[in-house]
A and B are shown apart, each in its own frame.
Chain A
Amino acid sequence: MMTLAEKIDRGEFVVTAELGPPQSSNGDVIRRKAAHFRRGIDGVNITDNQTAIVRLSSISAAVICRQEGLEPIIQMTCRDRNRIAVQSDLLGAAALGIGNVLCLSGDFTSFGNHPEARPVFDMDSIQLIAAVKGMTEGRFLSGDPIKTPPSFLIGGAANPFAEPLDARIHRLEKKIDAGAAFIQTQPVFDLEYFFRWLERVRERDLDRRAAIIAGVMPVKSAAALRYMQDNVPGMRIHPDVIARMEAADHPEETGVREAVETIRALRRTEGIRGVHLMPLNWESVTPVLLDAAGLGGSEQKEE
């Protein structure tokens, strides 16, 4: 089977999915969630103590995913690690066979269940991408050489929906300059706004220099959408989407249909090289979504 890096290299449409590790030491939760990602998913993206809530570590969960035959992408945030810990964890991840890393600044500690914790932020996501790139080229941040350099496909995140738009494009370009090979966006609930952002991205030719993977999130109810709009910073949801969800007799079906339509629209768009599914605690919907969107992956062979 092709790896994610190879698929991106060849310019194929990739599908990744997000997996949140549990707030316990139960590895079976990961195996259960991973089971839904067996078919049609090129990379399982594992969150790193998402929203600053303590969870099973991203690298450990990635190893479990690998045992299940999936290709993991670990998220690495700057919130909990200084530059020593970041480099040490990356070396460890590479030694365990993890080949993809998504570099993020991280949610602030005050959002989580340990708001009193010391936020580290020794570096920001751009500097982190540059650091990982440097490590793959065989040098530590100190400048010392690495005997066996790790090999990573480096990713960054972009939020097309937060203000100001100028800064978003600017930062995206800095991330790509620093060495990001793929860019994952926040979930798209407002295609109009997203395309406006994409236009700016294409103007600067950034879509050719890195694979832009758009986030898609299937939701179960209008209440969930409204909760996200009010509580998740930097989220933009088109009012029509909420209205359609509210009017629906079977909100779950409508949620799937909305997600499928978004995927189809994104797939048709030039400059979008893949989608990233974020079925938060609704992993079972993934195969349904992929089949409906025509991404079931007949070319994907079970091995």
Chain B
Amino acid sequence: MEFTDKHVQGLKDLLYKMADDLLILGHRNSEWTGLGPILEEDIAFSSMAQDKVGQSLAIYEILNQLGESDPDTVAFTRNANQFHCSKLVELPIGEYDFSLVRHFFYDHADAIRFEMLATTVVEPLQMVAKKFKGEIKYHTMHADVWMKQLAEGSDESKMRIQNAINETFALALGMFEPSDFEAELQEAGIFDGEFVLREKWLNKVVPLLESFGYSVPDATTTIPEFGGRKGQHTEYLQPLLDEMTEVFAIDPGADW
């Protein structure tokens, strides 16, 4: 079918939120470099960070083909209120328990999102979705292994992860904040929408966490932390961006 302006707007909105999530979470994950609980985790978080930032770049490139600015300009010159990332990804890394739970929640959602997008009618998006699915498989495997072994590790580790699950769940639900274009995206065969994604995600993560021995807050009574997709962010995003763009901003026209 022929895309209308609304379809294109909806597609751009979808791409922006995916790319912004990936960039910001990749940036956060990279902050573990040199500080992980064991060296192997430094290395793992750095690998995932590289994948995520690389994936965000690929999506910004699709946006560029749709008429948006080049990836460096888009990533390094916007303010917080122009970002569409979820609040989940912008929070500081905190301690390992929070970073791991965030990684678990986010990557399962992303794996399903890219699974759904592997059949989108938008060809360049379909291509990257198929490619990223292969990369994200290792991210979810990594998260699952750690969630399981910390459940079985010690009373302290299980309690810490349980607390992090409880404290992060509403933020995780915030990832599925509906856009203004849900109907258009579905009707054009671009994306089945946030609601479908959320249901698939719940069907995946809740039984998995329960099988590890954790309990999961009730999704029907938890109020999701929305706002991020509409540019309303926590106080943590702008300082992150200030830091990220510190050198670039010295001379945005220069070749770095």
A binds B: no
